[in-house]
A and B are shown apart, each in its own frame.
Chain A
Amino acid sequence: MDTRMGLHELAVGQRAIVETLHMTGGMRRRLLDIGLVEQTTVECVGKAPSGDPIAFSVRGAVIALRGEDCRRVEVRRL
């Protein structure tokens, strides 16, 4: 089974490993700053009332990202 997917496809409670960040510039730097480098484990911990943004647990902190941005983060589901 192919477990590669966009970060936005992760359901609440699922965990994944970051494979590639398909983005450049400001957003890429932001994600790197919060520790979302390749091979980092993330867990989807919740979604806003409208389903967007989505909250992830990354290295001990909870970070909210927009679905649009998550789309460009390729992960491997665990």
Chain B
Amino acid sequence: MGLTNRSVGTHAVDQGLCVQRTADYDKVIALAGNPNVGKSTVFNGLTGLHQHTGNWPGKTVSNALGRCRYEEEGYILVDIPGTYSLMAHSAEEEVARNFICFGEPDAIVVVCDATCLERNLNLVLQAVETGRRVIVCVNLLDEAKRKGIEIDLSLLSERLKLPVVGVVARRKKDLRQLLSTLHETLQTPPEEASPLPVYPIAVESALARLVPLLDRYRCGGLNSRFVALKLLEQDDTLTAEITRYLGRDWLQDDALQAALADALCDLKTAGITPDTFKDQLVATIVKTAEQLCRGVVTRRRSEYDTADRRIDRLLTGRRFGYPLMLTLLAVVFWLTISGANIPSQWLSTALFWVQDRLSDLFYLLGAPEWLHGAIVLGAYRVLAWVVSVMLPPMAIFFPLFTLLEDVGYLPRIAYNLDHVFLRCRACGKQALTMSMGFGCNAAGVVGARIIDSPRERLLAILTNNFVPCNGRFPTLIAVLTMFFIGTAGNALDSVLAALLLTILIVLGILITFGVTKLLSRTILKGVPSSFTLEMPPYRKPQIGRVIVRSLFDRTLFVLGRAAAVAAPAGLLIWILANVTVGQINLLQHCATFLDPFARLMGLDGVILIAFILGFPANEIVVPIMIMTYMAQGSLTQLENLGAMRELFVSNGWTWQTAVSMLLFTLLHWPCSTTLMTVKKETGSVKWTLLAFLLPTIIGILGCMIFTALFT
């Protein structure tokens, strides 16, 4: 799951999957595959949708739907989370397995990575076992070629008795080939059954006891052999799903239960316990895949990944691993800050010019003053401010971040940091969820599904808010620039700003570690579970596409969200700022009430009320502050940061206020969307409350301590 307008904000809350066939003849196709084999690229190519693609495992954690047409036939494609096997171990894998088994897909396209085909075939074999129609799509042929790996696709197809299509998913031509194969396959009934993995004799005879009985129930299109395997595996979650799917408690059938008991007894006699049973299955599948690949895959060079290893030695090396990570972070910030300055000013000039024209229009039409105030000075101005200040940094940060993602650097961050997380008794993959948090904390919370252990997943969810999301970034940058660096914007200033921002982010990361550790030792006690992380090969990023894609997605998203939240918020704030009770406006009443407490934190009542009203979206915190300050008299035009600084200073801001503001921006309650997502993901009010309280308390205490020490 990456950062797109479909994966962040309210959309991050998984709505569950409901496949609606627009017509009876629509075919439902599941796209399955190991993590990080380019499934999403295939999906996007086929459907024209923009499921975010990235070079790290676990990017897709929930099903995504798309449609396409071929030869008058409608297809509904379902991009399911990447999974190594159908023996679900984690929440995302369960999503994948349940869709394949119970989503009644007309076919499963298993996307395989040509550079490690053998392991990918494990999933193909398991998919075949379920009894669904399977089409093998061998992706990343170009990458394999570069590494000197050759694959005999027709031999593979002959051995598997399945259609096999080799593709480079970025090429439209290849995807058309895949569609035509899909089309042909679904037009004709299967000619020959695919050979299935043959298990050790004891397992096979146990299966033989059950299969004839199960055949009678015609398990909803599921292969009886597959259901028998699952019964013997005593996979309770799956058998419960099967029962629910078939609609009655057919497993309780006496004959079946008796046969099952006999079969289990036989296995026991043969020395196969429930524990070793799964081993036998997996080992058989792995060996079968190995045999299938013999002669199909040829490696021309034994040293096929020297370049990758060399890069890894640098990026994850003892000497340069950590420094390079910090440098990269700082460079990304520097490019963002120095690049965003000028477009920000342009946008602001343009949007405020439009505001003046809007004002002219209102006067021309003789609109009442309150209407002009509410619409133009309220809704429009907040919208304009949010767009001009938020948009440019994001339009630079996201493509840069996406590039790092595309190249394959993110898993290396998790790899580098895992040891620290281990000491906090957490999982290194938490680093991936934190990276996602930079974009949107709600997306980070959902992304925590990539962590298998429920305890470690909770840790990641509860601490995600300590990395600032896109709504808070520009605020941090603006305050840093206004108070700690000249607003003239020369090169050295932006370097300094980037460094300060890096320090602030590192502080957030350190707090993440601290809180994770604290939780691990108190209410979320436990030992760290095991950890496996696949490190994908480095890939040449498709720079043009990355920039266009992330810019476009981001731009639309930020604008959409700005309009959806900022404009009505602006309206509300204008009303609060202009409805007076006893000579003072409502906003001021609230601010005055909060002021004594806010002073303890080094803030003032206005800032605190802005944070509170900014609960729906952090983007609007600064506009609320500006509006409240401006309602107190000085009606300056805020065309640049310099003017804003003056407004703040005239309202009593000092450098200490700015530091407290920075701290509280980094450390305060998550926005409403993130909290809703936490509720959805944890299913618990208690954890949601904790996700609210943790950063809030730390933020309030942090600001208070800073204020006590430095004023």
Contacts and interface: CB of A to CB of B under 8 A. Distances in A.
15 contacts: A26-B452, A26-B529, A30-B532, A32-B286, A33-B89, A33-B282, A40-B286, A47-B318, A49-B416, A49-B419, A55-B415, A62-B536, A64-B534, A66-B422, A66-B530
B118 interface: yes
Given A45-B312, A52-B422, A66-B531, A37 B116 contact: no
Interface in B100-125: 115-119, 122
Contacts of B282: 29, 32-33, 37
Contact of A53 (B118, B275, B415, B536): B415
A48 B89 contact: no
B279 interface: yes
Nearest to A45: B309
A40 B283 CA distance: 10
A61 interface: yes
Contacts of A30: 89, 452, 530, 532
Nearest to B419: A50
Contacts of A68: 422, 528, 530
A32 B283 contact: yes
Given A35-B286, A46-B316, A60 B275 contact: no
B84 A34 contact: yes
A49 B533 contact: no
Interface in B404-461: 415-416, 418-420, 422, 428, 452-453
B313 interface: yes
Contacts of A59: 116, 118-119
Interface string B359-371: 0000000000000
B321 interface: yes
B283 A64 contact: no
A36 to B, nearest CB: 9
Chain A interface SS verdict (over half): mixed
Contacts of A5: none
A53 B119 contact: no
B278 interface: yes
Contact of A38 (B84, B283, B321): B283
Interface in A1-42: 23-24, 26-35, 37-38, 40
Nearest to A59: B119
A64 to B, nearest CB: 4
B278 to A, nearest CB: 7
Contact of B115 (A40, A47, A51, A60): A60
Contacts of B531: 53, 64-66, 69
B535 interface: yes
A-B pairs, 8 with minimum CB distance:
A60-B116, A49-B321, A27-B530, A33-B84, A32-B282, A50-B419, A64-B533, A62-B535
B648 interface: no
Interface of B: 84-85, 87, 89, 115-119, 122, 275, 278-279, 282-283, 286-287, 289, 305, 308-309, 312-313, 316-318, 321-322, 415-416, 418-420, 422, 428, 452-453, 528-537
Contacts, number: 127
Most buried by A among B87, B283, B531: B531
A31 B117 CA distance: 17
A53 B116 contact: no
A49 B322 contact: yes
Given A32-B283, A32-B286, A46-B309, A62 B534 contact: yes
A16 B275 CA distance: 26
A68 B122 CA distance: 27
Between A23, A30, A49, the greatest number of chain B beta carbons within 10 A of the residue's beta carbon is seen for A49
Contacts of B418: 48, 52-53, 64, 66
Q: Which of A31, A63, A66 has the most CB of B within 10 A?
A: A66
A63 to B, nearest CB: 6
How many chain A residues sit at the interface, stated as a range, is 35 or more
Interface of A: 23-24, 26-35, 37-38, 40, 45-53, 55, 57-66, 68-69
Given A49-B322, A64-B533, A24 B275 contact: yes
Contacts of B117: 60
B326 to A, nearest CB: 12
B279 A52 contact: no
Nearest to A60: B116
B119 A35 contact: yes
Contacts of A35: 118-119, 122, 286, 289
Contacts of A40: 286
Report which residue of A33, A40, A47, A63 has the largest number of chain B beta carbons within 10 angstroms of its beta carbon: A33
B532 A65 contact: yes
B120 to A, nearest CB: 9
B125 to A, nearest CB: 12
B530 A61 contact: no
A77 to B, nearest CB: 19
Given A33-B84, A48-B321, A52-B418, A60 B119 contact: yes
Contacts of B313: 46
Contacts of A34: 84, 119, 532, 534
Contact of A37 (B84, B286, B533): B286
Contacts of A62: 305, 308, 534-537
Given A33-B84, A61-B119, 16 more contacts: A26-B453, A32-B278, A32-B286, A34-B119, A34-B532, A34-B534, A37-B286, A38-B283, A48-B418, A51-B318, A55-B316, A62-B308, A64-B418, A64-B532, A64-B535, A68-B422
A26 B89 contact: yes
B118 A48 contact: no
Contacts of B316: 46-49, 55
Contacts of A63: 532-535
Contacts of B279: 28, 32
A34 B415 CA distance: 17
A55 B308 CA distance: 12
B532 A31 contact: yes
A58 B287 CA distance: 14
Nearest to A50: B419
B85 A33 contact: yes
Nearest to B427: A66
Nearest to B420: A50
| Candidate in A24, A31, A53, A58 with the most chain B CB atoms within 10 angstroms | A53
A48 B452 contact: no
A32 B286 CA distance: 8
